[in-house]
Amino acid sequence: MELEFSMKPIIETDSKLIPVICGLSRASLEDIVRIENLSDRPAWNEKLFAQEFANQHSHIFGARVEGQLVGFLVCHCLADEAHILKFGVLPQYRRKGIGRSILCHVIRDLHANTAKWVTLEVRRSNHVAQSLYHSVGFTEVGIRERYYSDDGEDALVMSLNVAHFIDEHGDHPHLENDVNGTQRAFHLF
């Protein structure tokens, strides 16, 4: 069942939207596919996302702004490792902190579930996504040559040490360490 919130879930701070991050159910499938089609190539279809909802190792998170699903992240977690498979944000909500909010929430959730490492692939040409991943502590650990089936582009493999993320950003979902190491609120619900 999808989580519902009775409080208004958005606050604007420094032109960045603060979304409500929640686990998603199959009820969000149509919205996920719509975001995916605007976010990635080659895009997954509804059947592939439906399979993720049936996969015991899959975790599917979403970001809602005023009740509307504006972003999602799909990852697998097995033992102490997690892998981000899909991550998308509606174009009009990009570069507003939505992706960072989802990513940080998921990393904290994975930490609470004993994950020690998170990995992902990103297109070599996707410098915006790489910048986001670097900003939370991901580092490049390899290259998958000709990884993407649509155009043969290489993928950078990136990895994050979850303990280092927690040391840097804090483990409370409503607090984040600032540049001086002091925790400050960044989600206000």
* Residue 63: strand, helix, or coil: strand
41: confidence class by pLDDT, cuts 50, 70, 90: confident
Q: Where are the domains of the chain?
A: 16-173
CA 111, CA 70: separation in Å to the nearest integer?
Answer: 24
Tell me, yes or no, if 121 is annotated catalytic. yes
List the one residue out of 90, 71, 88, 84 whose CA is nearest residue 19. Answer: 71
Q: What is the dihedral of CA 48, 49, 52, 58, to 10 degrees?
A: 130
Find out if CATH 3.40.630.30 is the number for domain 16-173.
yes
Burial class (CB in 10 A: 0-12, 13-18, 19+), 181: exposed
- pLDDT for 102 equals 96
2: confidence class by pLDDT, cuts 50, 70, 90: very low
Tell me, yes or no, if 12 is annotated catalytic. no
Residues 84-141: tens digit of each pLDDT? 999 999 999 999 999 999 999 999 999 998 899 999 999 999 999 999 999 999 999 9
Residues 133-169: tens digit of each pLDDT? 999 999 999 999 999 999 999 999 999 999 999 999 8
Query: Among the options 133, 147, 168, 176, which is catalytic?
Result: 133
Residues 4-26: tens digit of each pLDDT? 333 333 334 335 578 999 999 99
Phi then psi for residue 155, to 5 deg, are: -115, 140
CA 189, CA 187: separation in Å to the nearest integer?
Answer: 6
* Residue 126: strand, helix, or coil: coil
Residues 165-179: tens digit of each pLDDT? 999 988 765 544 433
Query: Among the options 121, 140, 145, 176, which is catalytic?
Result: 121
